[in-house]
Amino acid sequence: MNHLIAPSMLASDFSNLKSEIMMVNESEADWLHLDVMDGMFVPNISFGMPVIKSIKKYAKKPLDVHLMIEKPERYIKDFSNHGADILTVHFEACNHLHRTIDAIKKEGMKAGVAINPHTSINVLLDIIQYLDLVCIMSVNPGFGGQSFIEHTYQKIDALKKIKTEYNRQLLIEIDGGVNLQNAKKLIDSGANVLVAGSSVFNTNNPSETISELKRIN
């Protein structure tokens, strides 16, 4: 499959959020990536249900919602009701991961699991067959604009091998430090969803940057 581009709206201009959403709608982007942070699981607070509801009102593309929160199972139904199409929870935040994934799917959303840079791919062996997506964090979660962690390539390679054996339809998403300089290597390594925040919204022409990321092959 061709790779997907998911601009991270946390890096957008929130004083002009509607126009930023419209720009993504009209661009070659595939998803809108929304980072929800609670100030507990990660040392930052972003946005919650009201903002997601507002984004859904104008978005013409799927909402890829990434929960960087403790006990995400408490809010699965709420995120479904507010328009999430893909819901990703952190392995490190879930005591009963299989139950949480099952609950996400029962709400009609695609289910993803994210892992932090220090977490081994191997922790997913018992759950990977049930997943639609694995999000590999290529920076420490919580803040945008961080430098890409090079060990990510080895993790993609390891996940690709597991995917081949257990779940060939799995999407491999990379989140953090993705830019025009490393995107091709990430795709060649096996990534098929690239989350890009600062590298898109901090440019003079975000739509063109999205197109450049999309055209990489």
Q: Element (H or E) spanning 82, and its range? A: none
Cα of 121 vs its chain's centroid, Å: 16
For 106, the 3-state DSSP assignment is: helix
Among 35, 38, 85, 132, the one annotated catalytic? 35
Please give the sequence-ordered ranges of beta strands (E in DSSP) within the chain, or none if there are none: 4-7, 32-37, 63-68, 86-90, 110-115, 133-137, 171-175, 193-196
Among 30, 38, 85, 175, the one annotated catalytic? 175
Interhelix angle 17-26/49-58, rounded to 10 degrees, is: 50
- DSSP label of 28: S
- DSSP label of 45: B
> Could you identify the residue written with the tokens 């609670």?
38
35 is annotated as an active-site residue: yes
The whole-angstrom separation of Cα 178 and Cα 200 is 9
175 is annotated as an active-site residue: yes
- DSSP label of 59: -
> Dihedral (C-alpha) 24, 28, 34, 35: value to the nearest 10 degrees?
-120
Beta-carbon contacts of residue 97 (< 8 Å; ≥ 6 apart): 89, 91, 113, 127
Q: Which residues belong to the active site?
A: 35, 175
